[in-house]
Structure 1
């Protein structure tokens, strides 16, 4: 079987998921990957056969989306050209993890596909939403990477086609410890937005993962790390808690390990607002504004006694069997 797997690289979660799935997919046939977008900072240790700049996200300085930069970097003509060039009819199955170019190519070439990933879960009305829904956000989630078949991933089974998160082997096989540090991963924040707040908590040790850091170094109570999968996993496994955005994979892995989570969703990022609504239902504190007293917010969070529900890990062979059966039906 020849498998085409499209990855939306607007973040590291899609790449991390594909990397975990790759050896399982190889049991079913050969796999060619298509990467669209350029926001991811993880090393691509996958057989990438096709690549496109696609649509990428750009962030403002302190925790928001920069819509001007996002819009001006979209190249509609190139997107159509890239979609037309994908030889999808050469493949037996098309798996799409929220990529618009592959979705467009399937329509142009009259090829079947399945949308597989976290964003597919929002096709269910049962999946948590914020109190104030966004019409534009809902349209993007529904139409951006549409496919005839959909298999979603989320914290809980909100609907019949939704499965548990894909958890990396290093996390699954880990024995969690608490070495009394706080892991920080907030890619939409520049260093100077949060550093003063962290420094005020001089009795708390922070492991802060930043895309512009090239080498591990420690200044006062903060150890700065490059965005490195192995180092991040180790920090997460041994942390007291993690401060992260409103993404899906990182909170899921933290909850699987039984770690404290403080979520700061990216401003005006509707999917992250939806994830924040789901995390709230699980008892996770969510913060929308870090402009004032963020150090006190962290201190209060660390003092909280919270017992989170145990997150189930995805049974990958079972899910892939379901995916292939769904594709053929």
Structure 2
């Protein structure tokens, strides 16, 4: 079978999922003919994606979320205003997506949570079936348990998630743990898609705290902790533009530019891990048996963190309260059943994708309301 990927370009998670799934498909005799990536002015394609993806990559302008003035949590008002101003560009992108789907020769399109994919299928109606993959589709599951957050924010999150998947034949929801499928919305619950490199690592118990910040504004929290606890080694990765490969603040504090190999090396040897609650890196920490402090940067990550804490990954906080993480790590017991769940990913995913052409493409508008 031939597949075309459409990948949302915000954060690293969708990129690592796309790389991993391409490797699985190639290993099982399938082909990825093309990868379309939604881009924004605030993000560039990470080097690890360019190095590892095999299929030709093409880019299009896509909606994105803007951080607050403090460069921490997402600012909803600024994001809406920005994306409304760029609406003509997004309409052109939808035409481009439709063209690439029609000309690619693909049997199935796989959407990694890109909003314009759902809108393209709603208004332009490509005839090739598409499947959605992402942990976000668990938010539509009838049995998913949400944190106590703003009902309006949760409603908008679910609404956005539905928009990304209007008319899809199947939603593959990546989950921290096993759940029953939700057949009403064609949701199949599957294990996380982790990079193959994670399976060759030999985790060790180091003395340093490893971390990742999607928004560089959280660096102030890390600096504050460091000056109160200068004896604790800290290695944090960030997406700060124009930052050097390594910025050593003191002997025990370094900020690193995001590098996939280096990131996993530090993960495997750390004492504990602190993050802005992205799904993939929390899963990587769980697989390696590392306790996690999760500091959500937006409502989606609020849900990730709550779900991950329930699955035994670690603890939640409003800021990088690393003293709490150190205390928590002393008695942490890893969830080893998670390892077996992850190891079943390839078999379950390939089975579902090979069946995807058996599903007729549903009509876009009625599917939204199911």
The TM-score normalised by the length of structure 1 is 0.90
Deviation at 1:280, TM superposition (A): 2.2
Structure 2 Cα separation of the partners of residues 224 and 297 of structure 1? 21
Deviation track 1:221-249 (CA, whole Å, cap 9, x = no partner) reads 11221111011010001111100012210
Contact 1:41 1:227 in 2 (8 A): no
The 5-angstrom pairing of residues 127-138 of structure 1 reads: 127-132=144-149, 133=151, 134-138=154-158
Contact 1:182 1:239 in 2 (8 A): yes
User: Aligned pair 1:116/2:129, yes or no?
Assistant: no
Deviation at 1:40, TM superposition (A): 5.8
Structure 2 Cα separation of the partners of residues 327 and 316 of structure 1? 18
Unmatched 5+ residue regions in structure 1? none
The 5-angstrom pairing of residues 205-224 of structure 1 reads: 205-212=233-240, 213-220=243-250, 221-224=252-255
User: Aligned pair 1:32/2:34, yes or no?
Assistant: yes
Q: More deviation in 114-123 or 5-14?
A: 114-123
Deviation at 1:271, TM superposition (A): 1.5
3-state secondary structure, aligned to 1:265: coil
Deviation at 1:321, TM superposition (A): 2.4
Contact 2:5 2:111 in 1 (8 A): yes
Deviation at 1:98, TM superposition (A): 0.6
User: Aligned pair 1:263/2:294, yes or no?
Assistant: yes
User: Aligned pair 1:142/2:162, yes or no?
Assistant: yes
Deviation at 1:120, TM superposition (A): 1.9
3-state secondary structure, aligned to 1:73: helix
User: Aligned pair 1:244/2:272, yes or no?
Assistant: no
Unmatched 5+ residue regions in structure 2? 182-187, 360-370
Deviation at 1:287, TM superposition (A): 0.4
Partner residue of 1:5? Answer: 5
Deviation at 1:302, TM superposition (A): 4.0
Partner residue of 1:70? Answer: 79
Structure 2 Cα separation of the partners of residues 159 and 288 of structure 1? 31
Contact 1:114 1:327 in 2 (8 A): no
1:105 to 120, 128, 140: 120
1:232 to 263, 286, 295: 263
User: Aligned pair 1:151/2:172, yes or no?
Assistant: yes
3-state secondary structure, aligned to 1:166: coil
Structure 2 Cα separation of the partners of residues 216 and 163 of structure 1? 36
Provide the alpha-carbon RMSD of the alignment. 2.1
The TM-score normalised by the length of structure 2 is 0.81
Contact 1:11 1:40 in 2 (8 A): no
User: Aligned pair 1:54/2:62, yes or no?
Assistant: yes
Tell me the number of residue pairs that the alignment of Structure 1 and Structure 2 aligns: 323
1:199 to 206, 222, 227: 227
Q: More deviation in 74-83 or 105-114?
A: 105-114
3-state secondary structure, aligned to 2:315: coil
Deviation track 1:153-191 (CA, whole Å, cap 9, x = no partner) reads 110122321111111111111111122111110112422
Partner residue of 2:307? Answer: 278
Structure 2 Cα separation of the partners of residues 30 and 19 of structure 1? 11
3-state secondary structure, aligned to 2:289: coil
CA separation of 1:315 and 1:298: change in aligned 2, threshold 3 A: closer
CA separation of 1:37 and 1:158: change in aligned 2, threshold 3 A: farther
Deviation at 1:270, TM superposition (A): 2.0
Structure (1/2) with the larger helix percentage: 2
CA separation of 1:23 and 1:295: change in aligned 2, threshold 3 A: closer
Structure 1 Cα separation of the partners of residues 256 and 24 of structure 2? 30
Contact 1:41 1:211 in 2 (8 A): no
